[in-house]
A and B are shown apart, each in its own frame.
Chain A
Amino acid sequence: MKRATLVAATLAMVGLTAMAGCGAARKSADRYATTYFTEAKTLNYFLLLDSTAQRVAANTQDGLVENDRFGRYVPSLAESWTHNDDYTVWTFTLRQGAAWVDSAGQRTAWEVTADDFVEGLRYVADPANGIKNVSTIRKVIAGLNGYYYDLLDIDEGKDIGMTREAAEENFRTVGVAAPDPRTVVYTLTKPTPYFLSYLVTELFFPLERAFLDQVGAQDFGTSRERLIYSGAYYLADWQRDKQIVMEKNPLYWDAASVPVKTVSMQKVTDPAVSVEMFIRGELSATGLQADQVKALAGTPQAEFVYPAEISSVTYWFIQNFSSDNPEFRAFVNNPDFRKALYYGIDRVKLLSLYDPYNPAGLLRNTVVPEETVVDENGRDYTDYPGLAELKAAGDYFDTDKARSYFAKAVAALTDGAGAIKGVSPATVDMKPVAEFAVDGKLPLQMLYVHSNDANDTKMALLLQAMLEEVFQGQVKLVLGQYVDDKFNDVVEPRRFDLVYDSFRFGFGDPSAQLSRLVTDGGINDGRYSDPEFDALIQEAEGENLLSERYALFSRAERLFIDRVYVIPFQVGGGAYTMSKAVPFTYPRGGFGTTRFKYKGMIVEREPVTKARYEKLKAEFLSEMESATKR
């Protein structure tokens, strides 16, 4: 035993001396060190499946345009562009001499030419390459949809009267062309004034065909050597599940705007570790959850914590209008009951699980996010009449309103003695999510489905207790769980009464969300139908002058929310951050990939304090005001 103790003590001492040696290093202003939680699955920048890969792609590849720090579209590999009067043909003029570099930062034999953009789209359009996101633009670029389905049919063995080679030849008819090495022309299926917002996505990144042929389509992007780079950084190191290091591209066309020379990203699994590493000086930035902020109270670090940017992702509650639960089906088709739910869910209390300090800051009352869609006069879409009032309402939770709407619904739907008209006792079979018996009488039983994640479970339990209290025991929430995927397990097989879901905002137009919410729309998961709303959307889609267009869309959205087809709940992102990077020096935006660039970011030696952040934010907002107003 004595010897064992001795060995242990020696080991401990070795540890102590070793640690005294390190720890001091790892910080410098031209280096940005951060962490990531999900591994980049592949480096193939057309196949972005996670936020880490998106971040890497944004910084190692350039597109035609990019987001600047105000979120505007500014020239990137394209120097300038023009469009025809009805916004169906867009012509881009490329910058001269932008080089492709390899994974050592060395010049390759190739330059970025107009052909590379044609080849990029050809790669994306081929179903054999399995680029999932292609559907976003399939119906935007002229001829793309037909080309895609021809190839698909051939691959499936259908006889469409031509060989694959012949079908591939038809790419000529797709609306992308390179009349000369510096000109790219896109022809679109319909007038698209917001076409630039598609260009910040990875689908329009360039691809050097000669390099692709050299490594082979299968291997493209499976390691950092099997990729060449056109962006501000090249990938200097990639160890799966460990770290990603990006070094500044010495040949970058805009090298002067790239102050940070090295971006290093470490993989961690526990957010608490990230915070601890920041405190020990090993990181330039970290995110914090509210609980971690609480833990820092009273420490010197507390003054460095400021709110993180919220995202354009919106979470909303979906109600199942065709539920197998007869009690809920009766109630949800009554507008007063939906209003009762709208006012009866205390969203702020639910959100205090995530942020006990400022839960109301995470609320969103509209479907389309604010600060994402701006008309030709610089006016935000959510400031249009109808939506502005919604936005200003903030926390509209109101027990009295909820109760009175509920009373109206009960009066209309029950016989006065608690029995729901037309509903007889039944067993609701929504296995494996849930199975329960309903008696056709009040209290109303409804199934709320949540994931088996800790916070989601907490929220479900809280919602259950909340509705019980607000509706005085007349609404009983039955809880059901799914394990894996909300859509496959819950939404698609219709196994829910109430569930919340979140949706990415795809491109810079309200139609990105609203056109998918119409009757039979792609994200109409409640399966409601409102001809009035559908007609308004159709009218808005036909209008090309942005301010007119947005006026129509905002009217439709207001009607949609007034009739409570979904209940907007919260924003994505949020929480808190500590950082040595000066806020507002780097790109921002509501969608796409280029907003994740580190270009322009200034990193300092000391963390930014909360007071300084507030000051910078005020300055930034007024700068943005004048920058976006024309």
Chain B
Amino acid sequence: MSDRIEPALFAPAAFDAAAAERGGYESYSYWRSTFRTFMKSRLAVTLLLAMTALVAFSFAYPALSGADPNAVALDTERWNLRPGSGSGPFGTDGLGRDMWARTWHGARTSLLLGFVIALFDVGLGMIAGAIWGYARRIDRFMTELYNVVTNIPQTVVLILLSYILRPGFWTIVIALCSTGWLSIARFVRNKVITIRDAEYNIASRCLGTPPGRIIGRNVLPYLVSVIIMEAALTIPYSIGAEVFLGFIGLGLPLDTVSLGNLVNLGKANFMLYPYQLAWPTSILAAITVSFYIVGNKFADASDPRNHV
């Protein structure tokens, strides 16, 4: 009860701005924590490796091997060869084309499609969302636009646009991005508003932290993680959409090798030559599943609440 504080034990400290900041920020690095949390999940790491390998191979194989996925065999004996029977590891299709080469060329096309769509969706969505979040004047207009666009069923837009424009790579990109960017913009806008007006940021502002620092240290990390996640999840979605458009006859031209075309062609002969569907499908599933899980795990890891 009678422990008395001895003033002699204390020395007054002078205010040191640099040290104050070090105490505030240095012990916690957002990116290091995100990385550490992500690496803790063995599944995520395995899939990340698998994903990287798949993507790398999809781009490396067509570039390096020189095998032509559209090389037609004039000899009908070379048509519909089963895997291993004197053909490539995945066999040949109804025109004697090498399924191995086709699968990887297809994977490259589909991945490229996914990347481009992700780039546009996220890029446009982020810029529009940030402006939307900061500029209150356009909020009303953007909200109305968002309401109208999201009220049109997705398939209507997809079908209408693919129909009016000529089926092709950029048509699919436009069709998918025309609605995709808005939902990302909306998401970013909400995040920007909540983070900007969060109490710790108001406090930070009151303490005189410059806006650039708030954006760089407090707002951006949240958004970057969201962006990476959205990008990762857009890829399986775009690949799926391409398959769907192929099903209703509005996909990529059939002499373009893509996973969607391979699936739809393989489906027609499934009873007779199941491998023509099975192999492209397995590669497709491996790509979409790994992107999906890695994207989700990254989202979890990037949530600061999971960093403790």
A residues in contact (CB < 8 Å) with B: 272, 291-292, 294-295, 349, 352-353, 356, 432, 452-454, 457-458, 460-462, 464-466, 469, 479, 481, 483
Contacts and interface: CB of A to CB of B under 8 A. Distances in A.
B198 to A, nearest CB: 40
B70 interface: yes
Given A291-B272, A457-B254, 6 more contacts: A349-B76, A356-B76, A452-B253, A458-B94, A462-B95, A464-B72
Contact of B271 (A295, A349, A464, A469): A295
Contacts of B253: 452, 457, 481
Interface of B: 70, 72, 74, 76, 94-95, 166-167, 249-250, 253-255, 264-265, 268-269, 271-272
Given A352-B76, A432-B166, A465-B74, A454 B271 contact: no
A5 B253 CA distance: 43
Nearest to B72: A465
B74 A483 contact: no
Given A353-B94, A483-B167, A454 B255 contact: no
Nearest to B252: A452
Contact of A452 (B94, B167, B265): B167
B272 A295 contact: yes
A349 B74 contact: yes
The 9 closest A-B pairs by CB, nearest first: A457-B254, A465-B72, A295-B272, A461-B72, A432-B166, A295-B271, A481-B253, A458-B95, A291-B272
A483 B94 contact: no
A295 B74 CA distance: 23
A38 to B, nearest CB: 14
A291 B272 CA distance: 7
Contact of A294 (B74, B250, B254, B272): B272
Contacts of B250: 483
Contacts of B74: 349, 462, 465-466, 469
Contacts, number: 48
B110 to A, nearest CB: 18
Nearest to B249: A452
A464 B97 CA distance: 14
Nearest to A463: B72
B298 to A, nearest CB: 28
B135 to A, nearest CB: 39
A481 B70 CA distance: 16
A465 B95 CA distance: 11
Nearest to A276: B271
Contacts of B268: 454
Contacts of B76: 349, 352, 356
A460 B95 CA distance: 11
B70 to A, nearest CB: 6
A293 to B, nearest CB: 10
A460 B271 contact: no
B255 A291 contact: no
Contacts of A291: 269, 272
B272 A461 contact: no
Given A432-B166, A454-B268, A483-B166, A462 B72 contact: yes
